[in-house]
Amino acid sequence: MAQFKDVAMRKTTSLNLVTGFFQYLRDEQESVQKRTFTKWINSHLAKHKPPLEVNDLFEDIKDGVKLLALLEVLSGQRLPCEQGRQLKRIHWVSNIGTALKFLEGRRIKLVNINATDIADGRPSIVLGLMWTIILYFQIEELTSNLTALQALSSSASSVDSMAGSETGSPPMKRKVITKFQGNAKKAMLRWVQTTATNRLGITVKDFGPSWRSGVAFHSVIHAIRPDLVDMDVVKTRSNRDNLEEAFSVAENELGIPRLLDPEDVDVDKPDEKSIMTYVAQFLKHYPDPHQSEADGHQEEYDPQDIELMLEREERKVLREVKVWLDQLERDVLCLQGSEESLADKYQAFKSFRVQYEMRKKHVESLLQPVHRDGKLSVDQAVVKQAWDQLSVRLLDWHIHLDKSLPGPLGVIGAWLHRAELSLREDVPIQQAHEETANIIHRKLEQHKEVLKNLEGHRHAFQQIHRDRSVNGVPVPPDQLQDMAER
């Protein structure tokens, strides 16, 4: 029995050692990713107004404020955000939910990532989300930095390619992104091989051990600026010296943010995601200048061909927008007629509203007249009609939801919408100044009529806001808070 017990103990000890070793590897990988991703995030948050900075990724991401700021910088869009010193967990989850909805709206697949886990600062979930964002936006940057001819090829949308990742409007569907997301590693690896390593007889087979010596990093720098690297010297130096030199030269001479440290890479299994994140910076700033070299030439398009391609792509994008608008309106109608509670319906409304606002800038840019006479194309007119219809649908739903609030709060909700409509209306300028003056006078009288109940409604609302209920009937907190902010 003692012998069996001794064997069992040795097996248990061995198992614990193996388990501990793998846990150590996971912790090391997590630490490297955390450092790399934090530096990548800060390189973009520095462009935010005002500039922001992440110190502890797992903590600083919890309230969703810096997450939304990052997405704003990357997309060039304004996103709704709960801010303030006294944010509660419900506000954190709301902000993170907005971010996740934004990503889902771009057809980015989020697997096992939810708002509460991010609000809890769970390392594996936070890193998974950051990698998803990096992969998507780095690949978008990759494609936007390919040549115009590639962007006009059958595998990519020229309309999408013209929208830069940090300034452009959001795409409705990026086929090229979908293509590269599934093959990101292969696309990046091929770029490195054709741009740099193959030319110098250097073998790079992955984004792990192949980069440990630092030679691959130097080969990329050499492809961009041969005068910065002496490859003969590189091959004689230690891994750490090569890595330090490569990262320093890339930062100081090429403007590549230093996302990695030598000790992150000079290990048996360098973290693949961290290296891909760093290498993508080179592609962003210095796309391959020797594309199509295998053919010995690049195919040329005359301006008319390019214009035709752009028109085809724009028509395709407009039709995809129309499909999305039709689907969203069907979803809105379905929710409006459901038996859900008022609170649930309001949450659904907010979700739809976020999607609507996220698309608004892009749709409006697509509806700019293309003809010299200022008329819209047929496809533009169809999209405009669908967009206007959805806008009215959402406004009517919002009014109905506010009017459905209990007791006097429903009356206040209806009044608030009337007041907002009155203030939004423009005054048409007439040729006859007297007629314009009469219109302005009538508008002022309408404003006075609407606003005469302002103080009474404000007093009643303040009491309801304090009680969070009307005659003991609870009020959906989000809806109440949104009314307070209006």
The dihedral formed by the CA atoms of 398, 403, 408 and 409, expressed in degrees to the nearest 10: -20
237-265, pLDDT tens digit by residue? 999 999 999 999 999 999 999 999 999 99
Highest mean pLDDT among 12-16, 406-410, 433-437: 406-410
User: Is there a cis peptide before residue 50, judged by omega within 30 degrees of 0?
Assistant: yes
pTM: 0.53
The C-alpha atoms of residue 219 and residue 246 are separated, in whole angstroms, by: 9
Residue-wise burial string across 118-137, b where 16 or more C-beta atoms lie within 10 A, e elsewhere? bbeebbebbbbbbbbbbbbb
Q: Which long-range contacts (CB under 8 A, 24 or more apart) does 178-184 make?
A: 178/107, 179/155, 180/139, 180/142, 180/143, 181/135, 181/136, 181/139, 184/135, 184/139, 184/276
Contact (Cβ atoms closer than 8 angstroms) between residue 100 and residue 110: yes
Which of 145-154, 343-352, 394-403, 415-424 bottoms out in mean pLDDT, i.e. has the lowest?
A: 145-154
Q: Are 310 and 370 in contact (CB under 8 A)?
A: no
So what's the pLDDT on residue 10?
A: 53
Q: Give the span between the Cα atoms of 83 and 96, in whole angstroms.
A: 12
> What is the C-alpha to C-alpha distance for residues 108 and 37, in angstroms, rounded to an integer?
19
- The C-alpha atoms of residue 220 and residue 197 are separated, in whole angstroms, by 7
* Local confidence band at 189 (pLDDT 50, 70, 90 cut-offs): confident
Chain mean pLDDT for the chain:
79
Count other Cβ atoms within 10 Å, centred on residue 385. 13
Question: Of 417, 389, 390, 424, which Cα lies nearest the Cα of 403?
Answer: 417
Contact 42, 54 (CB under 8 A): yes
Neighbours of 358 (CB within 10 A): 21
The model's pLDDT over 88-121, given as tens digits with 9 standing for 90+, comes to 999 999 999 999 998 888 778 788 898 999 999 9
Structure confidence at residue 9 (pLDDT)? 55
Q: What pLDDT is attached to residue 385?
A: 93
What confidence category does residue 66 fall into, taking pLDDT thresholds of 50, 70 and 90?
A: very high
Concatenating the DSSP letter of every residue in 18-76 gives: HHHHHHHHHHHHHHHHHHHHHHHHHHHHTTSSS----SSHHHHTTTSHHHHHHHHHHH-
Contact yes or no for 175/194 (Cβ under 8 A): no
d(CA 327, CA 310): 26
Whether 203 and 179 have beta carbons less than 8 Å apart is answered as: no
Residue 158 backbone dihedrals phi, psi, to 5 degrees? -70, -30
Q: Going by C-beta distance under 8 Å and a sequence separation of 6 or more, which residues neighbour residue 328? A: 352, 355, 356, 390
CA distance 242 to 159: 41
CA distance linking residue 23 with residue 60, whole number of Å: 25
CB 330 within 8 A of CB 391: no
Written as six digits, the tokens of 61 are 């991401």
**Does the pLDDT of residue 288 top 80, yes or no?**
no
Domain ranges of the chain: 2-161, 183-290, 306-485
Least confident window among 35-44, 86-95, 110-119, 191-200:
191-200
For range 353-361, the mean pLDDT: 84
**pLDDT exceeds 50 at position 457:** yes
Is there a contact between 131 and 272 (Cβ–Cβ < 8 Å)? no
Longest dimension (CA), the chain: 110
For the purposes of burial, counting CB atoms within 10 Å of the CB of 450, is it exposed (0-12), middle (13-18) or buried (19 or more)?
Answer: middle
DSSP letter string over 165-190? TTTSPPPS--HHHHHHHHTHHHHHHH
Work out the end-to-end distance of the chain between its first and last CA atoms, rounded to an integer number of angstroms: 77
From the candidate CATH numbers 1.20.120.10, 1.20.1440.230, 1.10.150.120, 1.10.418.10, the one assigned to the domain spanning 183-290: 1.10.418.10
Pick the CATH number of 2-161 from 1.10.730.10, 2.40.50.140, 3.40.50.10320, 1.10.418.10: 1.10.418.10
| Confidence (pLDDT) at 196 | 85
Would the CATH topology of 2-161 be identical to that of 183-290?
A: yes
